[in-house]
Each structure stands twice: as structure tokens, then as C-alpha cells.
Amino acid sequence: GHRLSDGSEVGSDLFGPALVLNVGGSLFRTTPSTLRKAPFFDSMFRHTGEGGGLGATLDSEGHYFVDRSGFLFRYVLEYLRTGFWLLGEKACDLEFVDAIRSEANFYGLEGETGQLPVPRIMEYVCVWQHKDDTQTIYVDCMEQTIREDRDHQGLFRLCKYFGGLPLDRQTSTKRFKATSHCIQSVLSYFGMRGFSLQHIMEAPMITHVTSADGQSRSGPGTQFMLSRSVLFPCLPQRCDPIC
């Protein structure tokens, strides 16, 4: 028989509740009850059963055929099976998630009948210190990373003279000074909040502005780059978590 997109074979013994669906040339084995969770398929089966003019299209093998992307449909089918958008690392690909949202809309998975996936983005934190002052630890991150954490009280103080660059203003990047003098303690704080250490870099020159008139301190330092995956903000429709 034909090989399905999940690697199994389509044989002649597929009776009972199972069916084979052809989406854009890719074959999927599933059940009508799973597919009917999507309004598109519920309407298709209902009109087919009633013998109406809006019945399903069949391919040359007699399988139900939908002229959409089979590659994207596998994610839609997993959502119908599990209730979760299982996108893995692709959840951080905004273009891919937008394509999945478009497919979900086609199958009627929006509004009250379903929930659309939300892309994830990487949030970064830089913990650093000057080499000649290992007692002072700074953190460069988005302001809400610190402000929205109720447990941060007293652990970090805002460096009010940092943030004059256009990129800093655009990304809401702020600089905080840690009250702790232990770099491992600061790294552990962010580790407990979902951040993972990605890189340790020796920077030849880091500048820290210390006064309103522009006085600064510069010198070589060590930077610890951390990141975590967070939901992309400001999407208007109801959304479902991505695993």
C-alpha cells in the first residue's frame, strides 16, 4: 500500500472508524471523530453524508482529498488529537507560526471553536562584571524581566544613567546593579526563572555610565549570556499554549 506521513503503511484492512486523508499529497490515518473537532471537516462529513453538492473531493485511491499543505496539516492534526500545538523549536519561527495560524483558520480553528498557536521568542539577559571589580555585578535585560518578578525586591537596583542609546530605548533594555556580590547567586536567580546560560564571553571593553554628566567607567569584563523562551506578546485572538 501507500506509505503514510507518519511512516506506517496504508493497507486494505483499514475498516471500522479509521480513514485515510490525503492533504496536498500526504496521507494521514485518523478517525472522523478526531477530524470533526475542526468545523471544516465536520461540515464536509455532514454534507457528504447528506449527499449534498458540497461533499468531499476524493483522490484516485478513493481517499478524502484536501488541497492544502500536508507539511503544515500534520501539526493541525496533532492539535485535533491532543488539544496542544506541538511545534517544538519551530514555535520560535514567527513566519512558520503565522503559516500554522493561517492553516488553523482555514480549518475553522479560531474564535469559539478552537485556539490559535502563539509564537515564542527568545528573551536575553546579560550578567557581567568588570575584571578589576569582581564585587560589583550588573544585569542588562528588559525592564519587565526584573520589575514583574515579585521576588526581586531588594535584589537589584536600577542604574538610572544607563539606557540613553536608541536601541536601549527601543528594546526597553535597562541596567540593574545586583546587591549580591556572588556571580553564582545572580546566575541561579535567573536559572530559577527559566533562563539557561548560553555563552560566557570575555569582553575587551565594557562601559558603564556613572553620572548624569556622562562620566563613565570602562574596562575589560566577563559577560554571562542567558536566554529563555517566552510567548510572543500582543496577538489579538484567543491563543493556546505551544509545547
pTM over 0.85: no
Size of the chain in residues: 243
Q: Is there a contact between 128 and 222 (Cβ–Cβ < 8 Å)?
A: yes
Per-residue pLDDT, 239: 45
Q: What's CA 71's distance to the chain center, in Å?
A: 19
The per-residue pLDDT string of the chain (243 residues; one tens digit each, 9 = 90 and over) reads 444 555 444 443 333 478 999 999 999 999 999 999 999 999 988 887 654 445 578 999 999 999 999 999 999 999 999 998 998 888 888 899 999 999 999 999 986 555 788 877 888 999 999 999 989 999 999 888 888 777 777 899 988 877 655 444 555 788 999 999 999 999 999 999 999 999 999 999 998 888 877 788 899 999 999 999 887 764 444 445 454
In the chain, what's the furthest Cα-to-Cα distance? 81
